[in-house]
Amino acid sequence: MKKLATKQCTVAAALSFTGIGVHNGQPSSIIIQPAAPDTGFSICRKFEDGHLSDVFPLEHDRVARTYLCTAVDLGDAGTISMIEHVVSALSGLGIDNAMLIVDGPECPVLDGSAGKYVDAIVENGVSIQPAEKKFIKIKRSIIVRSNDAFAALEPYNGRAFDVEIDFESDVIGRQRMIFDWTPARYATDVSTARTFGFLRDAKILRQAGYALGSSLENSIAVDEDKIMNSDGLRFEDEFVRHKLLDAVGDLALAGMPIYGKFRSYKGGHGLNALVLNGLFASEQNYEIVNAKDLPLEFDALEDVPLGMDSQGYIRSVG
Ligand SMILES: [Zn+2]
């Protein structure tokens, strides 16, 4: 067993990505920049004339909408939607601090997963920072419900996600994934799972101005009992893996990684945001803890992605 790395880290260099917004169908680009210790994840908007908006912390109290994706409020600079995949990549890889610069109202969808972000971050490495890595340790269980769906955060000696979905579709059906987090495991088992949608919903969504950029290049399309993508699925249970990817991103809006267990059934962006609101409703629900004081350990993995060390942490540069 290897002890968790206990120092904060950020991306070693600025990384840029260009694509389209899956909902507005417009060209969009994003830059992930290194950020100072203890600044967490933050975001600003770049406008057509090149000027930048104020920088806002990417935290739960800035969530503006959770319909189909998570959107955050940047005050006079409007909202930026679909932030969950890039933030999932950062949090999933164990990065503590980064600033996002987005040149439109929606982050690019890329291939519908967080895989391209992960590849670039792993390839370029991270910078280890002097500050101690911190976690939000769950002290009391919080559960939020909507009909039979729920999302919960529970005390747990580790960082785990237990996500279950149940769709009335033969190709999806009921799927559950229990995931004990390590950066390497996130990269291999979670980050490449793509978003998905039903063809039966596509027309209604497009009439309402959503999914205008969606295609088989960036989504799994499900038509009743079959997958429309000619190359099929990346995992047999790719759907629940993507839901877990979304949860890692949405929960990163806690401002620090959560030390505890997240559970959800038929959940999504809305319940993920609500469970964070519930967490922060009382200071008795959590405490901020230094990583070195936590018994978070994990096996050294043999097959780690390129650029990761034997602890599953991304190779540091400089
Ligand atoms: Zn998603």
Over residues 227-274, the pLDDT tens digits come to 999 999 999 999 999 999 999 999 999 999 999 999 999 999 999 999
Is 136 a domain residue? yes
- The full DSSP string for the chain is -EEPP-EEEEESS-EEEEEE-TTT--EEEEEEE---TT--EEEEEB-TTS-B---EE--GGGEEE-SSS-EEE-GGG-EEE--HHHHHHHHHTT--BEEEEESSSB---TTSSSHHHHHHHHHH-EEEEEEEPEEEEE-S-EEEEETTEEEEEE--SSEEEEEEEE-SSTTTSEEEEEEE--HHHHHHHTTTPPPEEEHHHHHHHHHTT-STT--TTTSEEEETTEE--TT--SSTTHHHHHHHHHHHHHHGGGSS-EEEEEEEES--HHHHHHHHHHHHT-GGGEEEEEGGGS--EEPPPSSPPTTB-TTSPBPB--
Is 308 a domain residue? no
pLDDT of residue 303: 34
Is 318 a domain residue? no
CA–centroid distance, 25 to ligand 1, in Å, is 16
Over residues 56-69, the pLDDT tens digits come to 999 999 988 888 88
Whether 269 is catalytic is yes
Is 309 a domain residue? no
Give residue 317's pLDDT band: very low, low, confident or very high (50, 70, 90): very low
Is 287 a domain residue? yes
Say which CATH number the domain at 273 has: 3.30.1700.10
Residue 208 domain boundaries: 2-298
Is 26 a domain residue? yes
CA–centroid distance, 214 to ligand 1, in Å, is 13
Considering its fold, how many domains does the chain have in total?
1
CA–centroid distance, 245 to ligand 1, in Å, is 7
CA–centroid distance, 298 to ligand 1, in Å, is 27
**Annotated catalytic residue, options 60, 85, 242, 269:** 269
Is 21 a domain residue? yes
Over residues 21-53, the pLDDT tens digits come to 888 889 999 999 999 999 999 999 999 999 999
| Model confidence, pTM | 0.92
